[in-house]
Structure 1
Amino acid sequence: MRKIKLALLLMFVLSFVTACSKSNGDIFVSDEAELVDAIATVKAGETIILRNGVWSDVEIQFEANGSEGRPVTLRAETAGEVIISGRSNLTLSGEYLLVSDLVFKDGHSPTDAVISFRKDSKHLANHSRVTNVVIDRFNKPDRFDSDSWVLMYGRDNRFDHNHLVGKMNKGVTLAVRLNDEASQQNHHRIDHNYFGPRPVLGSNGGETLRIGTSHYSLTNSHTVVENNLFDRCNGEVEIISIKSGSNIIRDNLFWESAGTLTLRHGNGNLVEGNAFIGNGKAHTGGIRVINADHKVRNNYLENLTGTRFGGGFVIMNGVPDSPINRYHPVKNVLIENNTLVNVDHILLAAGADEERSQPPENTAISNNLFVATRTGTLGVTAFDDISGITFNDNGLSGADVEFDFNASPVETVKRNNLYFDKNAKLGSSIKGLLNTDEVGVTWYAKGDLRAKLGQGKEIRVSPGKNSIALALETAAGGDTLVLSEGEFSVNSVLEIASPISFVGAGKGKTTLKYTRNALFELKDGASLGLKGIAIDGSESDNVAGDTLIRTSRLGMLNNYRLLLDDVHVMNLDVNHSYSFLKAEKSTMADEIHINNSEFSNVSGDLLKLDAEIDDKGIFNVDYLRIENSSFKNVAGRVASIYRGGTDESTFGPHVSLQANHFDDVGRSELNESKLAFDLHGVQLLTVKENHFVSSGGVNVSASVGEPVYQFFNNAMGGSELAVSYKDRVIDPKEYLAGE
């Protein structure tokens, strides 16, 4: 009998240890069921440890109550070795919780957040912390299916030393929510995080960090954002969007990020000790000031190129008696002891128009240092009355200014690659830039580590049955297929799902012919490079909607690049509307670059980049560059681009046409527009040294922004230029005076 009782006791103990694996307050769990049980019974001071491995399709509801000094902890067995994948997320609710060491990748959240500091509207987290966690490209598959990666609710929570990289779908990366009293005046701390590269979204909703919303913007948040690195965060014009009051944003580094730290709504915020380093990259900005009672001091800004709402330093005009969601006037703002080095655009009373008609009031710009090492003129522009701004005891080095800035010459010195007033009276006193080792996690590489065009191995391919398709099956992202001389016949659509290049022996030596209604289909994750190749569409299938390159009909989460150099495309004319590239909705090209190439005998539009017709500010291409190329007998338009609506949160599209020859382009009876180019919503257009012969016109129009159009030394040859802005027709002579 004693043996039986002993055996039963042993079985009970073993089953308990197996189920809970509990030792010294550590509870080891191996699957979701064990995790749920552990959370239900965990006590203050105990730790739940997820066994190493991949945890797929798991929604973790971490609801528990610790106490000060004795939190309830949820962590990985080994930092970085627990991968949360598939349809997964994490919610925290309760008091004194700690989460650490997890990696979210290879999946997406089925809800509105990957990590949320609440289970629902009645169960929030307070006094809780998420640290040493990675979220890597954990995006919903549809780029316009919005979510946030982190939503902070409750009070006295901390989000620190985390690594967030590759947010590509719509939605702010990290948002502090103030939608009820329990989450207001929250005293959250967001510090020492690595916010890694975020690509251009091409729409509103690409902020990296937002505190509050316009509806609650007159409420104080008391959130501290400090010692974070924002590395190439290019989602939209607002990198950080402050929409509440009494926040502190200090000692952060903005590295080559397009956009600004924007004080969009709310009053009484402090911005100090931050560094904005643009390195001359396009659209890199600094600080944009709206609303009242802010202090902007001791910040360092260098080599910023941004303009308009994305400028290096911007003080906005306001709306008189503004609704809560528009632009409250700038009042009682102190801007002092900042250093601005090679900041291309300092804009005062920016955005002045019929609505934004109230200039800044009782605002002081004092003890700042303005340095120019590239040019002799400081790029300051006032768009309205600036009598409400006083300038006191500022310093200038290597720069002149065209209006009274109340500034004196200052000698500068350079320490730690930063410029300082030699007498240490004016400008910023920051000691140096935030070190990348101080932010994020120590065990996960920083930056965008995805494969890029031309960075992989070479795969040599000779003509033969399905030789290109077979070689493509062995290629990895970044690889180059080197095609020998000869004629290649392709009998299937080549699906490109990663960055792949094709390099021939020269467009007169390597020829591709194909029999399907497309040669390439760009899947999500693709980029395509073509060089030294001739492509002949004369044997392609005669199907409505033929196109040599098409993007996925399902949309593409990742932005793509398309690069052509020394390419001859011919005989896209087996039906009446054949195109070279057709972009579908929910696709974005970071860059399309056509150089030293030829196009002949094309029956439709070459570049169809006009699928986003919903007038929401969305568009299909950010940069289009066509250079040193010729186009002959093209029935449709060379490019049709569309960005509609009045959204002001994005910078593109950008179009550059230089040193090209257009002969018999855009004049087909089926091309009702009779245009060679139809460019709607382009924000920066350069047309230089092009030659038009017997070709259609160029239509340039926009409904938003302050577009810049530049025409230099073109031979229009009878091709008409039409320019309009917000339904106002502009005399093209303004642009063609030098033609």
Structure 2
Amino acid sequence: MIAQSAARHYANFKGLPKGRSELEESSLMARSTTLAFSGLLLAAAPASALARDYLVHDQKEYRAAAGAVKAGDVIRLAEGEWKDFPILLEGQGTAKQPITLTVQTKGKVILTGASSLRMAGSHLLVSGLVFRDGSAPGAEVISFRRDPRSYARHSRLTEVVIDRYNKADRRTEDRWVSIYGSDNRVDHSWFAGKGNLGVTLAVIRPKGQPEANRHRIDHNYFGPRPPLGSNGGETIRLGTSDESLSDSANLVEANVFDRCDGEVEIVSVKSGANVVRSNLILESQGAIVLRHGNGNRVERNVFLGKAKPHTGGVRVINEGQIVRDNYMEGLAGTDFTSALAVMNGVPGSAINRYHAVSGAEIANNSMFEVARVTLGAGADAERTAAPTGSRLTNNLITGQDGKPFRVEADMVGVTFTDNVTDGEVPGAIPSGLRKTGIATKRAANGLLYPTDPALAAQGAPRDLRPVMVAEVGPAWYPKATGIAAFGSGRAVPVKAGGLEAAVAAARPGDTLKLAAGHYTAEAPLRISVPLTVSGPRDADIAFSAPTLFQLEEGAALRLEGLSITGDKAPRQSGNAVIRTSALSTVANYALEIDGTAFSRLDSAPAFDLIATTPGTFADRIAITKAAVNGLSGAVLAAAAETEGKGRYAAEHIAIADSRFEKIGSLAQILRAGTDESTFGPELILRGNTVVQSGPVMLGLSGVQSILIEGNTFRSSGRIAVANSVGTPETRIIDNHFIQTPEPTVTKLYPQGSPRVLVSGNSIGGDAS
């Protein structure tokens, strides 16, 4: 009976339930399914006189069992590591008797190396697999098809883990899960740490096959995905533009998205009639984006940004989209990652560009302490079609700065009714948006609601229940944690002559405390863990190799209070104090320099302080209270990504309160191409003094956010800013330019709407 009950539930999930009580129903359904599924594995053998239970110990035994498997049979992988194992599960089960692939013991069967899973047939059930310590041999780790003609239908993937199972080169694309066919389900699984190019989970709708898919993606844990630094970092994608004008009808429900920061689209909807419902989005940069396709619903989701930059809500494009009953709090995103972004479209748009918004219904959403609601987002010389026939009704908005609204296009085609805000009402919204004080209190569900009875019906419904992290993913696999922080490990004293050995023996989070004295590195110090190197200024490090610190896979480096000299480096072009790996690294790194002095780095041409290499990416590079005297190259050379695909070297760059004398340039930063799917690079340059640089002191191309504030530039070269597509922001304010040219700001492409503020700067004066 247990097996039959589970099978009946499993066969039923293809329909899309409706109504506000669905979260409670689906949670109960999921819990009962988990219990029933456990019973199903035990009951599968007696359910039919012909059903068999295979325990296999190697690939040969698996292939024999897989070749003989029939409806109701169960194959179990024995405990241990299965390396380089290409699994094919193919067969025809039934709703009452699926063909099952599982494990002897959950959490103790690990697929490593070049392993993968393909499924083809009907009523297949896979559970308990863990993919770790390797990468797929092809373009997919798990695929719901054997080949382009053989798909899986009515099949289920549950309690499966893919943990940092990445290609060695971050620029090589693959997908972790590709769902083909129809009526399939992925639930209670764990996906985290994808660092290379490609979608984490995608519904694939091949061109020429426009029929609905009706897949269900529910109760999964989508854990941290670091910024990719290019397009192709979505966590979920439903379809592609080719078939986006037909309906896919997928349900994405009750998942947790935890720190999913890959790119601007967390969930990218590129087909019609999908429902994205009752998910929890935690501190994730980006938004749920209705990119292509019509008639989608985004409802009853909870977004908690905690003021993290670029945390967004929902972006609306195309026809007949419904965004209702969502709760958003502390979202700091603007522009395309606003809490709500209603875009402008392209007149007569090609299928892969931006169809105009029409017939949108945006109702009963709460947006508390959000940075921005953007209407007519992306309006420029190409995107001139404003929203039409759309309604914003009964929404509640409070802003972080008292001005939460940005209107970039004509709103005559949008009707506003009974919306309330505590911020400034734009003149472009003449009615239907009322300003009032909004006091709030947290309810038992942990969410904020107005205390004024007159606002009781405003915004998100009171019966929302955010899905809990403990309710998603397999219970037997722990949720993801962060990398070791600087200073979280041991304090290791180091004397002169012992630096190389100390670096080689370092553990994650260690701090190497150098004693006063002279240190010489004869070969690059290769860093592969988060490491701090600290010392007094009379801890002097010289190096005779082309590089002092080489940042390898897994590295992060902080330098504190040291003195580093370059006069012993080779007399050749291209030396660097800090250089990223010669090979692509999947993990993002961090680099911090605080209170450290650098000198005599001009003994050879093109001698850089920091040199980035293609295929490496920094979450942050921060230089504070540093002193550089004599440098023939760049303090930061971050222009190695030249392919024009929107890639760049670092997400956040900050240089503050430092002094630079006789340098080639302060920074060269490049983001080439016209892609709009990323957040950075972001540069903050504040409180610095630069005396005597080369002809281009600062070269910035395609940088998305620039703040140059309160600096003094003497006898230096020009600042050259070239803005790219999207809405890049450049602010050059309150600086002193002494015998230094005024900054130049140009625009690379006709598309895009750069925002430029050059104000309060002084030009000319004594250079002494």
Q: Given the two structures, how large is their TM-score scaled by the length of structure 1?
A: 0.92
Is the partner of 2:138 in helix, strand or coil?
coil
Which amino acid in 1 is paired with 2:573? A
Partner of 1:495 in structure 2? 526
Q: 1:591 to 1:475 in 2, by over 3 A?
A: same
Partner of 2:414 in structure 1? 389
1:342 to 358, 364, 369: 369
1:150 to 168, 177, 180: 177
Does the CA contact (< 8 Å) of 2:425 and 2:433 recur in 1? no
* Shift in Å, 1:574: 2.2
Q: Does 1:404 align with 2:430?
A: yes
* Shift in Å, 1:80: 1.2
* Shift in Å, 1:690: 1.0
Which amino acid in 2 is paired with 1:212? G
Q: In structure 2, how many angstroms separate the alpha carbons of the residues matched to 1:736 and 1:23?
A: 81
Q: 1:734 to 1:244 in 2, by over 3 A?
A: closer
Cα deviation, 1:668-706, whole Å, max 9, x if unaligned, reads: xxxxxx011111111111111111121111111122222
Q: 1:25 to 1:450 in 2, by over 3 A?
A: farther
* Shift in Å, 1:732: 13
Partner of 1:8 in structure 2? none
Q: In structure 2, how many angstroms separate the alpha carbons of the residues matched to 1:53 and 1:473?
A: 31
Mapping of residues 578-589 of structure 1, within 5 Å? 578-589=607-618
Q: In structure 2, how many angstroms separate the alpha carbons of the residues matched to 1:322 and 1:646?
A: 18
1:225 to 232, 236, 252: 252
Is the partner of 1:606 in helix, strand or coil?
strand
Is the partner of 2:758 in helix, strand or coil?
helix
Q: In structure 2, how many angstroms separate the alpha carbons of the residues matched to 1:447 and 1:727?
A: 41
* Shift in Å, 1:533: 0.8
Partner of 1:428 in structure 2? 460
Q: 1:711 to 1:397 in 2, by over 3 A?
A: closer
Which amino acid in 2 is paired with 1:431? L
Mapping of residues 99-248 of structure 1, within 5 Å? 99-179=126-206, 184-248=211-275
Q: Does 1:287 align with 2:314?
A: yes
Partner of 1:6 in structure 2? none
Partner of 1:13 in structure 2? none
Q: In structure 2, how many angstroms separate the alpha carbons of the residues matched to 1:156 and 1:182?
A: 15
Which amino acid in 2 is paired with 1:656? I
1:677 to 693, 698, 710: 698
Q: In structure 1, how many angstroms separate the alpha carbons of the residues matched to 2:156 and 2:220?
A: 13
Cα deviation, 1:244-268, whole Å, max 9, x if unaligned, reads: 0000100001111111100000001
Question: 60-69 or 221-230, which moves further after superposition?
Answer: 60-69
Partner of 1:724 in structure 2? 746
Which amino acid in 2 is paired with 1:460? P
Q: 1:292 to 1:727 in 2, by over 3 A?
A: closer
Does the CA contact (< 8 Å) of 2:733 and 2:760 recur in 1? no
Q: In structure 1, how many angstroms separate the alpha carbons of the residues matched to 2:496 and 2:757?
A: 53
Does the CA contact (< 8 Å) of 1:723 and 1:732 recur in 2? no
Q: In structure 1, how many angstroms separate the alpha carbons of the residues matched to 2:485 and 2:277?
A: 34
Is the partner of 1:315 in helix, strand or coil?
strand
Q: Does 1:604 align with 2:621?
A: no
- Aligned residue-pair number: 704
Q: In structure 2, how many angstroms separate the alpha carbons of the residues matched to 1:178 and 1:503?
A: 54
Moved over 6 A (4+): 730-733
Mapping of residues 350-365 of structure 1, within 5 Å? 350-365=377-392
* Shift in Å, 1:710: 1.7
Partner of 1:12 in structure 2? none
* Shift in Å, 1:646: 1.0
Q: In structure 2, how many angstroms separate the alpha carbons of the residues matched to 1:214 and 1:524?
A: 35
Q: In structure 2, how many angstroms separate the alpha carbons of the residues matched to 1:286 and 1:443?
A: 31
* Shift in Å, 1:567: 0.5
Mapping of residues 257-406 of structure 1, within 5 Å? 257-372=284-399, 374-375=400-401, 377-397=402-422, 402=427, 403-406=429-432
Is the partner of 1:649 in helix, strand or coil?
coil
Question: 426-435 or 618-627, which moves further after superposition?
Answer: 426-435
Partner of 2:35 in structure 1? none
* Shift in Å, 1:444: 1.9
Is the partner of 2:738 in helix, strand or coil?
coil
Does the CA contact (< 8 Å) of 1:722 and 1:732 recur in 2? no
Q: Does 1:447 align with 2:470?
A: no
2:98 to 59, 71, 78: 71
Q: 1:589 to 1:345 in 2, by over 3 A?
A: same
1:661 to 665, 689, 701: 689
1:516 to 518, 537, 545: 545
Does the CA contact (< 8 Å) of 1:369 and 1:421 recur in 2? no
1:616 to 631, 642, 645: 645
* Shift in Å, 1:73: 0.9
Cα deviation, 1:170-207, whole Å, max 9, x if unaligned, reads: 11110001116767311100000111111111111111
Is the partner of 1:38 in helix, strand or coil?
helix
Question: 388-397 or 147-156, which moves further after superposition?
Answer: 388-397
Partner of 1:694 in structure 2? 715
Partner of 1:535 in structure 2? 564
Q: Does 1:595 align with 2:644?
A: no
Partner of 1:463 in structure 2? 496
Does the CA contact (< 8 Å) of 2:90 and 2:120 recur in 1? yes
Q: Does 1:414 align with 2:445?
A: no
1:631 to 660, 681, 689: 660
Q: In structure 1, how many angstroms separate the alpha carbons of the residues matched to 2:749 and 2:256?
A: 42
Is the partner of 1:637 in helix, strand or coil?
strand
Q: In structure 1, how many angstroms separate the alpha carbons of the residues matched to 2:158 and 2:207?
A: 25
Q: In structure 2, how many angstroms separate the alpha carbons of the residues matched to 1:519 and 1:329?
A: 53
Does the CA contact (< 8 Å) of 2:730 and 2:755 recur in 1? no
Q: In structure 1, how many angstroms separate the alpha carbons of the residues matched to 2:191 and 2:322?
A: 29
Q: In structure 1, how many angstroms separate the alpha carbons of the residues matched to 2:209 and 2:66?
A: 24
Which residues of structure 1 form unaligned runs of 5+?
Answer: 1-21, 667-673
Cα deviation, 1:3-61, whole Å, max 9, x if unaligned, reads: xxxxxxxxxxxxxxxxxxx9983211111111111101112112111111111111101
Does the CA contact (< 8 Å) of 2:574 and 2:605 recur in 1? no
Q: In structure 1, how many angstroms separate the alpha carbons of the residues matched to 2:130 and 2:306?
A: 31
Does the CA contact (< 8 Å) of 2:407 and 2:426 recur in 1? no
Which amino acid in 2 is paired with 1:394? N
Cα deviation, 1:109-148, whole Å, max 9, x if unaligned, reads: 0111100000101111111111111101101111111110
Which amino acid in 2 is paired with 1:715? H
Partner of 1:14 in structure 2? none
Which amino acid in 2 is paired with 1:389? V
Does the CA contact (< 8 Å) of 1:517 and 1:542 recur in 2? no
Kindly report the root-mean-square deviation, in angstroms, between the aligned alpha carbons of the 2 structures: 2.1
Q: 1:182 to 1:709 in 2, by over 3 A?
A: closer
Partner of 1:10 in structure 2? none
Does the CA contact (< 8 Å) of 2:51 and 2:70 recur in 1? no
Which amino acid in 1 is paired with 2:75? I
Q: In structure 2, how many angstroms separate the alpha carbons of the residues matched to 1:245 and 1:183?
A: 10
Mapping of residues 536-551 of structure 1, within 5 Å? 536-551=565-580
Q: In structure 1, how many angstroms separate the alpha carbons of the residues matched to 2:654 and 2:483?
A: 24
Q: In structure 1, how many angstroms separate the alpha carbons of the residues matched to 2:553 and 2:111?
A: 22
Q: Does 1:438 align with 2:471?
A: yes
Does the CA contact (< 8 Å) of 1:421 and 1:427 recur in 2? no
Partner of 2:758 in structure 1? 735
Does the CA contact (< 8 Å) of 1:153 and 1:183 recur in 2? no
1:45 to 49, 69, 72: 72
* Shift in Å, 1:214: 0.3
Q: 1:699 to 1:33 in 2, by over 3 A?
A: same
Partner of 1:255 in structure 2? 282
Partner of 1:55 in structure 2? 82
* Shift in Å, 1:404: 2.8
Q: Given the two structures, how large is their TM-score scaled by the length of structure 2?
A: 0.89
* Shift in Å, 1:386: 0.8
